[in-house]
Amino acid sequence: MQATDTSATSSSTSSPAAPTIVTAQAWSVLLASTFAFMVCFVVWMMFGVLGVQLREDLGLNGTEFGLLTSTPVLTGALMRLPLGIWTDRFGGRIVMTLLLAICAIPVYIVSYATQLWQFLVIGLFLGCVGASFAVGTPYVARFFPAQRRGFAMGFFGAGTVGAAVNLFVTPLLLDTYGWRFVPRVYAVLLLATAVIFWFASARDPGAGKASGSLLDSFRVLRDPRVWRLCQYYSITFGGFTALSLWIPQYLKAEYSMTLVMASAFAAGFALPGAVLRAVGGILADRFGAHNVTWWGLWVAWICLFLLSYPTTDFVIHTIDGPFTITLNVPPLAFVALTFLLGAVFAFGMASTFKYVADDFPQNMGIVTGIVGLAGGLGGFLLPIIFGALLDIFRIRSSCFMFLYGIVWVSLILMYLSEVRRTPITGTAQAT
């Protein structure tokens, strides 16, 4: 196993396609790509806010609300793999521009929907904007030297700040002009972003250099490291996406907040989960992807344990009569814990793609697509599971209980497969 890791690292540092310096063109590509990704993420998370109003208008239960908010995430996940492949073959500039322009159509059509099934069908098409991550990550990485790719991909990944922008801007547009005005504005924004991106970006230096057939590209799936990265990213990105969609309505119901206030408080989770992603890339460059991922999951485990505890009254029978102790998570504590949770999820998202750049420098497009697909599927399934758990157990914090269990299992698997360098079968392997 060590020999494989060493070889992979060596190939990443000696790649002939890697630039030796960070040029002005590289910075232009990075900024343009990050802005485009941010706009895409605003649109992708749109139903997280609009869905709260639609839940009241359409009379949706928890499961239906979870399905509404997560449907765009499904196609955003499924399309990451083909878009990652097309980026390797045609270049990130062309693929990103076409994606922005084409997705403006279903976004605009949302404003005419009146029934749940219509929102679900249209949501499948507009969700393709979420696949922009699989385009921008390999595209940006090719303009930076190997020792700076963690930072570059982390900086690009900070475009997930669009989740926080959505939480600030969408409620204001909704309250002022009504919800149907929101998708129309975002459709125009996508078209404008496509024009800006085209002129600010550059030809992809890796376009058309993918070797072998399409079938050859998928042989990377035989590498167990790819599946470990899928596991990590389904937790960090999947958890971040799901909670960004779920927390506004959680705060509205749990703490009786208005939608605008709930969205503003929810930004306490979404904002660090986006902005600090670049910091996570720097940390991964300096301390290694494994260390950042391992310790980040431990911090997430502690935060989720505290958030999982539902409001509880303990009645103690004393000699003077019953004495009640109430345990709950007050709003400020909730914001502080979710802020920390968002930060470590951001570090984990960045460190996962540091793994990709180090171990798969010649297949970044397809590996990014595969790993992004796993993360997007996590973001799709989790809100539905959150809604089902709420409908079944009637406990709002059940969403955090579920994530706590997932992180706990993942820490055990990571310890067995990486920390001890021991396969799951229990067969010892020399380190």
Tens-place pLDDT, residues 131-178: 898 899 889 988 888 778 778 877 888 888 888 888 889 998 988 898
pLDDT digits (tens, 9 = 90+) for 324-345: 988 889 999 999 999 999 999 9
Are 91 and 210 within 8 A, CB to CB? no
Reply yes or no on whether the pLDDT at 430 is more than 80. no
Cβ within 8 Å of residue 311, ≥6 positions away: 326, 327, 328, 329
Rounded average pLDDT over 317-321: 88
Assessment of whether the complete model's pTM goes beyond 0.85: no
Ramachandran angles phi, psi of 321, nearest 5° = 115, 180
pLDDT tens, position by position, 366-375: 787 788 788 8
Q: CA–CA separation, 251 vs 272, rounded Å?
A: 18
Please state the rounded mean pLDDT for residues 306-321. Answer: 89
Number of domains in the chain: 1
The residue among 401 and 142 whose pLDDT is bigger is 401
2 is a domain residue: no
Residue 181 confidence (pLDDT): 94
Q: Is residue 165 part of a domain?
A: yes
The CA distance from 393 to 338, in Å, is 23
Using one digit for the tens of pLDDT, what is the confidence trace for 44-88? 889 988 988 898 888 888 888 888 988 898 888 888 888 888 888
420 confidence band (pLDDT: 50, 70, 90):
low
In this structure, which amino acid lies at residue 106? P
Q: What is the pLDDT of residue 162?
A: 87
**Per-residue confidence (pLDDT) for residue 3, from 0 to 100:** 38
Is residue 8, in this structure, part of any structural domain at all?
A: no
List the CATH number of the domain containing 94: 1.20.1250.20
Cβ 196 vs Cβ 28: under 8 Å: no
pLDDT interval class at 211 (50, 70, 90): low
In a domain, 428, yes or no: no
Residue 272 has pLDDT above 80, yes or no: no
Is residue 127 one of the residues assigned to a domain?
yes
Q: Is 6 inside a domain boundary?
A: no
Q: Mean pLDDT over all residues of the chain?
A: 84
- Does any domain span residue 122? yes
Task: Decide if 15 contacts 362 (C-beta within 8 A).
Answer: yes
Range of the domain at 242: 18-208+216-419
The answer for residues whose C-beta is within 8 angstroms of residue 254's C-beta and 6 or more apart is 396
Say yes or no to pLDDT of 13 above 60.
no
- Within a domain: 425: no
Q: Find the radius of gyration of the CA atoms of the chain.
A: 22
